[in-house]
């Protein structure tokens, strides 16, 4: 898939960040609301609304809400219609804020994700999502 080839190197670089480059910070107003808003839009079938929460870079990669929605439904099914969402630590990683999110899918499986955030004049947008390995994490 073309998008996997584009995002693969970015995800690989993000995974390679050293642990020392991460610092837990206090919650920032708007970040959790942005992530929740996108998930609520997906859950309601409002792909255009969900696309509005994506950064210009993400919107540029996928070009249309429909293409974006297909990618999320296939690649991130746990956020398409989550049964439960909890927020973990907000961290600064190389100068960028990254929100840890724990999602329980419809089958009861727990997934940990990192949402890379981008602050704009109009508020926070989602600039990338990484599914984290589940080592040592029990559902």
136 lies in some domain = no
Return the CATH number at 8. Answer: 3.10.450.50
Of residues 67 and 13, more confidence is placed in 67
Q: Which domain holds residue 107?
A: 2-16+23-131
Phi, psi (degrees; rounded to nearest 5) at 95: 80, 0
72 lies in some domain = yes
Q: What tokens were used for 139?
A: 């559902």
User: For 2-19, what is the mean pLDDT?
Assistant: 45
Contacts of 1 (CB under 8 A, 6+ apart): none
Contacts of 127 (CB under 8 A, 6+ apart): 55, 57, 58, 96, 116, 117, 118
At residue 101, does pLDDT exceed 70? yes
- Specify the residue for token string 């989602």: 126
137 lies in some domain = no
Place 68 in a pLDDT band, splitting at 50, 70 and 90.
Answer: very high
Place 11 in a pLDDT band, splitting at 50, 70 and 90.
Answer: very low
| pLDDT at site 12 | 44
Q: Using an 8 Å Cβ cutoff, are 129 and 59 in contact?
A: no
Split into its structural domains, the chain has a count of 1
pLDDT by residue (tens digit) across 72-85? Answer: 999 999 999 899 99
């Amino acid at each position: 898939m073309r998008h996997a080839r584009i995002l693969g190197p970015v995800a690989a670089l993000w995974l390679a960040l050293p642990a020392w480059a991460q610092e837990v910070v206090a919650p920032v107003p708007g970040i959790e609301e942005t992530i929740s808003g996108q998930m609520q839009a997906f859950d309601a079938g409002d792909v255009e609304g969900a696309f509005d929460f994506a950064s210009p870079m993400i919107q540029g990669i996928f070009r249309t809400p429909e293409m974006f929605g297909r990618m999320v439904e296939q690649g991130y099914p746990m956020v398409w219609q989550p049964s439960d969402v909890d927020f973990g630590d907000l961290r600064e990683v190389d100068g960028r804020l990254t929100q840890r999110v724990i999602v329980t899918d419809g089958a009861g499986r727990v997934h940990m994700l990192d949402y890379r955030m981008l602050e704009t004049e109009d508020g926070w947008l989602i600039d990338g999502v990484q599914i984290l390995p589940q080592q040592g994490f029990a559902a």
